């Protein structure tokens, strides 16, 4: 899909910009990855004993794959609500720098903060990546509407996939149920690996995978936090150390 030129009549009015944003969801492989991930999330919610409404609301209101999976798997394994909330909030900290990075691409000097609430809500890794790709080709006045369209489209894809995954897990044989559940770790691993650029990214992914089984031996209820903070801190330390080596 090619967007119309910046000065085209086709950008007149926010409804048109919204439409272009909605259509942009069809122009990215990330939509397919999103679809696959949320099929896994729907299946996971079903197999952990949550209702269909619960799964739907978690996709619409949380709108962050990792947080949803952590929530389902921690609550499903019987930890307390507080432990689940801590694990979710730790995984969600990454949304903070994403929102901070996305907003300057979108706002104009006249933009009010409340106009950006929905943009902040839609912000997750997929939207973040797509904003960098598409927004330079969208006139600035139309960007909020464009992102609203793009975000609504992505949520709709996630929502349909959640429902399909939930129904599949309820009705499929055990083998295919297992195949649907396996989609989530595969899709997450490869999409994260694809976005890894520096040494810090690669190390935090690799160490995070390896350290979790070790941390799980502690059986602390917050094993994911323990391995995540340890692996992330080591990766950050190595990155700083290498930076200093290069300067010296």
Contacting other proteins within 137-196 (CB under 8 A): 169, 174-175, 177-194, 196
Residue 12's alpha-carbon distances to 20, 127, 138, 151, in angstroms, are: 11, 23, 12, 20
Q: What is the DSSP letter of 221?
A: S
Please tell me the count of residues contacting other proteins according to CB under 8 A.
109
Residue numbers 193-222 binding other proteins by CB under 8 A = 193-194, 196, 200-201, 203-213, 215-216
**Interface positions, 98-137, toward other proteins (CB under 8 A):** 98-101, 103-104, 113, 116-117, 120-121, 123
Give dist(CA 54, CA 63) in Å, integer: 13
Q: How many C-beta atoms surround the C-beta of residue 68 within 10 A?
A: 26
From 17-25, 94-102, 126-134, 148-156, give the range in contact with other proteins by CB under 8 A.
Answer: 94-102
DSSP E strands in the chain: the ranges are none
CB 55 within 8 Å of CB 168: no
Residue 29 interacting with other proteins (CB under 8 A): yes
Among 17, 41, 95, 144, binds other proteins (CB under 8 A): 95
Shortest CB 25 distance to other proteins, Å: 17
Comparison of 3 and 72: residue with beta carbon closer to other proteins: 72
* The only residue of 39, 41, 71, 145 in contact with other proteins, by rule CB under 8 A: 71
Hey, what are 193's tokens?
Answer: 């690996």
Find out whether 239 and 199 touch, Cβ atoms under 8 Å.
Answer: yes
């Amino acid at each position: 899909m090619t967007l119309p030129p910046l000065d085209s009549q086709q950008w007149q009015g926010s409804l048109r910009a919204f439409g272009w944003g909605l259509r942009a969801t069809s122009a990215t492989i990330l939509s397919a990855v999103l679809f696959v991930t949320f099929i896994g999330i729907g299946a996971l919610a079903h197999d952990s004993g949550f209702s269909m409404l619960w799964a739907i609301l978690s996709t619409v209101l949380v709108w962050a794959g990792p947080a949803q999976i952590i929530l389902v798997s921690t609550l499903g394994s019987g930890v307390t609500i507080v432990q689940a909330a801590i694990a979710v909030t730790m995984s969600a900290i990454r949304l903070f720098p994403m929102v901070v990075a996305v907003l300057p691409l979108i706002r104009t000097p006249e933009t009010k903060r409340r106009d950006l609430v929905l943009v902040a809500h839609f912000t997750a890794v997929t939207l973040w990546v797509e904003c960098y790709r598409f927004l330079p080709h969208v006139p600035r006045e139309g960007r909020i509407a464009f992102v609203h369209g793009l975000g609504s489209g992505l949520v709709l894809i996630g929502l349909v996939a959640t429902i399909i995954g939930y129904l599949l897990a309820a009705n499929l044989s055990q083998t295919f149920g297992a195949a649907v559940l396996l989609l989530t770790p595969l899709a997450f691993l490869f999409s994260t690996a694809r976005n890894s650029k520096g040494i810090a990214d690669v190390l935090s992914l690799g160490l995070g995978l390896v350290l979790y089984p070790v941390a799980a031996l502690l059986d602390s209820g917050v094993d994911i936090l323990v391995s995540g903070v340890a692996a992330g801190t080591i990766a950050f330390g190595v990155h700083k150390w290498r930076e200093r080596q290069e300067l010296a």
